[in-house]
Structure 1
Amino acid sequence: MTSPRPRAPMGTPRSPAPRRPDTGRSVAGRMLAVLGAFDASHRSLTLTALARRAGLPLATAHRLVATLTRWGALERDATGAYHVGLRLWEVAMLSPRGGGVREAALPFMEDLYEATHENVQLAVRDGLEVVYVELISGRSAVQVRTRVGSRWPLHATGVGLVLLAYGPPRLAEQVCARPLRRYTEMTIQDPHRLRAVLAEVRRTGIAVSERQITMEGLSIAAPVRGPGGEVVASLSVVVPAGEGVAPGLIPAVRVAAHGISRTLAA
């Protein structure tokens, strides 16, 4: 957006710029800066690189990294470099908007994959971005640049269009007020066109997004609703672009999304 920048593989990963040393932050703020130094293109960092990217003096970074490593938030490999630890994954899976929805969705995602043998994706909204919480793919499926944990702008993905269409009214205005980042010549960049697309998503209950992130993919997405009927996630299938929407594909996505919604309601 300045559309939020993606963390991808679907393009250029969002990479926080190294910060200037800041000794005025709280201890918690400094620890979060250390964790925030990691992203899709910086999965392994030396202590020096961690300190630089977090904007911390080396001695301060050393103390914080030691604490985070003892707790399990970071792990150190044989080369001395640090990685995000499994303890953080365990904590993240407790999030009802991530792990909880994912657990309810997986059986239906597996059924949808068996029926299509295409990419099946589940995503939730975080601010002005969409975050992918699960992905099932096969060798013969069209190549996508998403991964679990990646973030992309709401306007440029099928799941994002669903979450934007069913989000608070002010959310669409926030997105339309910002430059809409372009990924291909097909990416929606006109706010008026985006509003029309969102109205169509609300009318049909389905988002069809073709060649928005890559020229190879077409996404069909449907809303997943929580116990109160609110849209809490979006489910999609990504198929090769240029072949149109195969008969039965939209009903299959709808049925799977409805099944997840029923499970969450129960």
Structure 2
Amino acid sequence: MAGNTSSPGASVTSRVLALLGAFDEHHRALTLTELARRADVPVPTAHRLVAELVAGQALARVPSGEYVVGRRLWDVGLLAPVEAGLRRVAEPFLHDIHAATRATVHLAVRDGDEVLYLERMSGRASVPVVSQIGSTLPLHCTGVGKVLLAHAPSDVQAKVLRSPRRLTRYTITQPGLLQQQLQRVVRDGYATTTEEMTLGACSVAVPVWQRDEVVASIGVVVGSLKRDRSRMVAALQVAAQGIGRSLG
């Protein structure tokens, strides 16, 4: 929740930023009253500013009457140098993986203690996928997330391992077991999940290295990894190497 922006000296910019900052993974849709409370902005002020944000497509109002983040914010965010360059470089490689596997393909980066999806190419198979471009999900129960968590700073790992949330009955929530998995990810060069995020969906992912730093992860989501895991890992690793080389 934002700091005190209701004081008379608070600028319009700070109040707008506070309203936008009221949204997070657990608050994706908010009423006007909730927005005002979480941003610490008077309701009349929030009403005026939110109306302007909706008119500018920074926010959108859904049929329930709640407000959600608008498409324009995501479009602007994609202009950030790292994300824009990464998506542009990765796109042809992701198309190659998609053509070879017919699976849903992801490109993701770490955003704090969450995984942020920069690109998603949908597959033909009827595998449930909850990710969307611009959405964030927990690091510990997604393939791309586990890769990024395995290579994250120790303080990020410690925060996630303190209280990993259970999303399905297969989600790994024991810190010791999860730590062992992360060590295997570093050792083996890839991560897998089996119905840990969504029932009926398995994933495999690899890191994208830029020199000596993991800057992203690419992965696929399929119904089962029993037969084609090695083939998918190999395809992903070839693509990840190509992306890394192209990034310089």
TM class, shorter-length? 0.7 to 0.9
**1:142 and 2:92 equivalent?**
no
**1:64 and 2:42 equivalent?**
no
Which residue number in structure 2 is paired with residue 112 of structure 1? Answer: 97
Which residue number in structure 1 is paired with residue 224 of structure 2? Answer: 241
Identity %: 47
Say if 1:172 and 1:84 are closer, same or farther in 2 by CA, change over 3 A.
Answer: closer
Which consecutive residues of structure 2, in runs of 5 or more, have no partner in the other structure? Answer: none
1:82 to partner: Cα distance:
6.5
**1:124 and 2:85 equivalent?**
no
Contact 1:97 1:124 in 2 (8 A): no
Q: How does 1:190-201 map to 2 (within 5 A)?
A: 190-201=174-185
Number of equivalences: 246
Say if 1:54 and 1:166 are closer, same or farther in 2 by CA, change over 3 A.
Answer: same
Letter in 1 for 2:203: S
Equivalent-residue separation in structure 2 for 1:164 and 1:253 (angstroms): 18
Equivalent-residue separation in structure 2 for 1:72 and 1:35 (angstroms): 12
Which residue number in structure 2 is paired with residue 97 of structure 1? Answer: 82
1:169 to partner: Cα distance:
2.9
Which consecutive residues of structure 1, in runs of 5 or more, have no partner in the other structure? Answer: 1-15
Contact 1:108 1:256 in 2 (8 A): yes
CA offsets, 1:2-37, max 9 Å, x none? xxxxxxxxxxxxxx8xx9996138333321232235
Q: CA RMSD in A?
A: 3.2
Letter in 2 for 1:221: A
1:60 to partner: Cα distance:
1.1
SS of the equivalent of 2:170 reads coil
Which residue number in structure 2 is paired with residue 264 of structure 1? Answer: 247
Partner residue of 1:229 out of 212, 222, 231 = 212
Which residue number in structure 1 is paired with residue 146 of structure 2? Answer: 161
Say if 1:81 and 1:189 are closer, same or farther in 2 by CA, change over 3 A.
Answer: closer
SS of the equivalent of 1:109 reads helix
Equivalent-residue separation in structure 1 for 2:107 and 2:74 (angstroms): 17
**1:205 and 2:184 equivalent?**
no
Tell me whether 45-54 or 118-127 shows the greater mean CA deviation: 45-54
Say if 1:146 and 1:84 are closer, same or farther in 2 by CA, change over 3 A.
Answer: closer
Contact 2:102 2:124 in 1 (8 A): no
TM-score (norm 2): 0.83
1:247 to partner: Cα distance:
4.4
Equivalent-residue separation in structure 1 for 2:223 and 2:22 (angstroms): 35
Contact 1:93 1:100 in 2 (8 A): no
Say if 1:139 and 1:42 are closer, same or farther in 2 by CA, change over 3 A.
Answer: farther
1:65 to partner: Cα distance:
3.3
Contact 1:129 1:151 in 2 (8 A): yes
SS of the equivalent of 1:187 reads coil
SS of the equivalent of 2:207 reads strand
1:197 to partner: Cα distance:
0.7
Which residue number in structure 2 is paired with residue 217 of structure 1? Answer: 201
Equivalent-residue separation in structure 2 for 1:20 and 1:246 (angstroms): 47
1:141 to partner: Cα distance:
4.3
Equivalent-residue separation in structure 1 for 2:206 and 2:142 (angstroms): 12
Contact 1:211 1:241 in 2 (8 A): no
Equivalent-residue separation in structure 2 for 1:245 and 1:195 (angstroms): 26
Equivalent-residue separation in structure 2 for 1:65 and 1:120 (angstroms): 35
Equivalent-residue separation in structure 2 for 1:183 and 1:46 (angstroms): 26
